[in-house]
Structure 1
Amino acid sequence: MNSSLSVTLDTFYTVTTVEFNEKLTEDVFFLNGEKADHTDTERVSNYLRAIRKFAKKHLFAVVRSENHVPTAAGFASSASGYAALAAAATKAIGLNLPPQELSQFARLGSGSACRSIYGGFVEWQKGVKEDGSDSFAVPILHEDDFPIAVLSVMVATNRKKVLSRAGMKRTVETSPFYQGWLDTVEHDLSELKHALELRDFTLLGEIAERNALKMHATTLGANPPFYYWQSATMEVMEAVQNIRSQGIEAYFTMDAGPNVKVLCLPEDEQKVYDQLKQIPSVKKIFTCHPGPGVTFLPTGEADVC
């Protein structure tokens, strides 16, 4: 696999509480105020099982999570969700873990969640050990060190047909394009870290856009092939290129989903926003900036952007 780099955003976050109780006979999970279905509850319970084993405590829990991230649409809801769950659950069971260990626990739920433990720009180091003990996130830049704007453009609200984990598995196992992308990742990551060191927004945007296109191309070679883009996705991408031709620096990137993240400088965000808002297929635009990682609220909840 490969190392990766992301930016934790201030607009998207999850607030989670975990209460372990010796009287419970099973885990209970509430998502956005409603009792979760069996599949989601089982997913959370499986994750808590690892924490129980590490803490040597056989206690079940009530988990309440308010997710302020569009789910399964390419806005990294699992990253925010599992980072918050890792922080809240480990603290509730009596484990006061340093950030590195917390990052490792978050990774067990969702790989990208390990980065959301920290704020700002964060690298997930893939590690080389078979047991994964050296695979965790490290902070690169604090959220205030490099001011940028990220316009998260929503073109679809429905749950994506191929979820991230299943899509990645299919791509890795069957796409002949995957190795070609993998061969370029380390170079792109090195260049991206160099761009952050120099605070070079142009280089940052160019690499992010190029790498996203290469990543999405790998899904077309999978068996069976699939893709996350919709026609509206392409409209936004083309609009960003048109904005750039006007001399305004804007670059697009995407996770595994149809929605688009547009990078620009803070002084240009309103101009970019206004042009993107004119696209009929755009449903909503979230204005985001680099934000903090895990924060423990006075009530004991874990708040993760």
Structure 2
Amino acid sequence: MVTTHYFIPKKHTSSLENGSFQWSAPSNIALVKYWGKKDQQIPANPSVSFTLNHCKTITKLTFVKKENQNTLLFDLLFEGQPKEDFKPKIQKFLERIEKYLPFLREYHFTIDTQNTFPHSSGIASSASGMAALALCLMSLEKALNPAMTDDYFYQKASFLARLGSGSACRSIKGQLVVWGQQQNITGSTDLYGIPFPNAVHANFKNYQDTILLVDKGEKQVSSTLGHDLMHQHPYAERRFEQAHENLDTLQAIFESGDLDQFIKVVESEALTLHAMMMTSMPYFILMKPRTLEIISAIWSFRKDTKIPVCFTLDAGANVHVLYPEAVAEKVLQFIKDKLVGFCQNGQYICDQIGDGALPMAN
């Protein structure tokens, strides 16, 4: 079994004075939700997600060797401009991962990051952002340790990303990624995400995700606070059991291609996530009236047309509309006719599942 010590490196075998690496990493959308965590970003329950394709963060890491190695030193740019309010989170991340990347104090870093989706669009960028940064840092470690295997590279990138944002560990690989120990999924672990290793039916190939931007404002409750509320939650233990059960059910669904059962599990998971927030103390309602209008419209459309379209939600008001590629034309027409009016400024993003993060030329 892999432990955290596996990711503490020996001395590096090469040296590097300066250079840069650039990666793109996608966002992801959980089908079985992760909600509740232990120390060191260990999940209280396993999750599985679709890796997205178009909604991603592109990060360039430039590094120069420095003389004073007493401090962690970095500049942070967002779309080419200094972004001081992002720095505390990155500082905390670097401090958290330093034992696994002991070269961090040897360099002055410039982190230049941008998203392919609009900033403040209501799509969480922490997963894609932390994944992209972790991959850039791993590229530097691989340059210092050229014998590193690809398997180790990606496992450790996911492991590090998790320490920045839990769900970021699911943004390294695609198309379906499992994070968290699940008895009958070989290789599953709490330490990093793995590509779903079992059979997946053709029905789920190129699955579509249209993200309806209902509310582009700041989150009403931070993810950290939301996860912490599970510690004293009266229904937490049953919820964690349910996540294991639903992941088992989804495994069979991925193999059989049963879209009706897929819809039941995915929508139930989304509503359960919000039910946990509504029954915590303090309690939160993160859905907006327009979120409920969209859900109701999707249910009516599915009932009337028998088209297998469903929704899922993150910890917010926006709605991810999920559907097979084969029905894309009809569902997109439905979205334009019936759902766009519920979106803030009529905004929505068309995406689909993708293969994960990619290195980019500098």
Give the TM-score category using the shorter length.
0.7 to 0.9
Residue 156 of structure 1 corresponds to which residue in structure 2? 215
Residue 240 of structure 1 corresponds to which residue in structure 2? 298
**Structure 2: which 5+ residue stretches go unaligned?**
1-43, 184-188
Residue 6 of structure 1 corresponds to which residue in structure 2? 49
Q: CA deviation at 1:73?
A: 6.5
Q: CA deviation at 1:157?
A: 1.1
Residue 56 of structure 1 corresponds to which residue in structure 2? 102
Q: CA deviation at 1:49?
A: 3.1
> Which amino acid is 1:118 matched to?
K
Residue 111 of structure 1 corresponds to which residue in structure 2? 166
Q: CA deviation at 1:200?
A: 2.6
Residue 9 of structure 2 corresponds to which residue in structure 1? none
Q: CA deviation at 1:196?
A: 1.1
**1: distance between equivalents of 2:284 and 2:354?**
33
**2: distance between equivalents of 1:209 and 1:69?**
25
1:1-305 superposed matches below 5 A: 1-23=44-66, 26-38=73-85, 40-57=86-103, 58=105, 59-69=107-117, 75-93=123-141, 94=144, 97-126=152-181, 135-140=191-196, 146-170=205-229, 172-246=230-304, 247-277=306-336, 278-279=338-339, 280-282=341-343, 283-299=346-362
**1:224-256, Cα deviation, whole Å (9 max, x unpaired):** 111210111111111110111121111111111
Check the 8 A contact 2:127/2:169 in 1, yes or no: yes
Check the 8 A contact 1:86/1:106 in 2, yes or no: yes
Report the 3-state secondary structure (helix = DSSP H, G, I; strand = E; otherwise coil) of the residue aligned with 1:2.
Answer: coil
> Which amino acid is 2:263 matched to?
G
Check the 8 A contact 1:151/1:288 in 2, yes or no: yes
> Which amino acid is 2:64 matched to?
N
**1: distance between equivalents of 2:290 and 2:166?**
28
Cα separation, partners in 2 of 1:78 and 1:69, compared to 1, 3 Å: farther
Report the 3-state secondary structure (helix = DSSP H, G, I; strand = E; otherwise coil) of the residue aligned with 2:234.
Answer: coil
**2: distance between equivalents of 1:127 and 1:190?**
9
**Structure 1: which 5+ residue stretches go unaligned?**
300-305
Between 225-234 and 22-31, the greater mean CA deviation after superposition: 22-31
Check the 8 A contact 2:302/2:309 in 1, yes or no: yes
> Which amino acid is 1:268 matched to?
V
Larger radius of gyration between Structure 1 and Structure 2: 2
Between 102-111 and 198-207, the greater mean CA deviation after superposition: 198-207
**1:17-43, Cα deviation, whole Å (9 max, x unpaired):** 1122234872111122221124x2121
> Which amino acid is 1:239 matched to?
A
**2: distance between equivalents of 1:127 and 1:21?**
42
Q: CA deviation at 1:154?
A: 1.0
Corresponding residue pairs, total: 294
**1: distance between equivalents of 2:294 and 2:252?**
28
Name the TM-score, length of structure 1 as normaliser: 0.88
**1: distance between equivalents of 2:119 and 2:314?**
13
**2: distance between equivalents of 1:80 and 1:158?**
19
**1:68-110, Cα deviation, whole Å (9 max, x unpaired):** 2456766342111111010012213546542112211111111
Check the 8 A contact 2:170/2:177 in 1, yes or no: yes
Check the 8 A contact 1:119/1:143 in 2, yes or no: no
> Which amino acid is 1:253 matched to?
T
Name the TM-score, length of structure 2 as normaliser: 0.75
Q: CA deviation at 1:189?
A: 0.6
Q: How much identity, in percent, do the aligned residues show?
A: 28
Residue 303 of structure 1 corresponds to which residue in structure 2? none
> Which amino acid is 2:269 matched to?
N
Check the 8 A contact 1:125/1:138 in 2, yes or no: no
> Which amino acid is 1:136 matched to?
Y
RMSD in angstroms over aligned alpha carbons?
2.5
Check the 8 A contact 1:70/1:77 in 2, yes or no: no
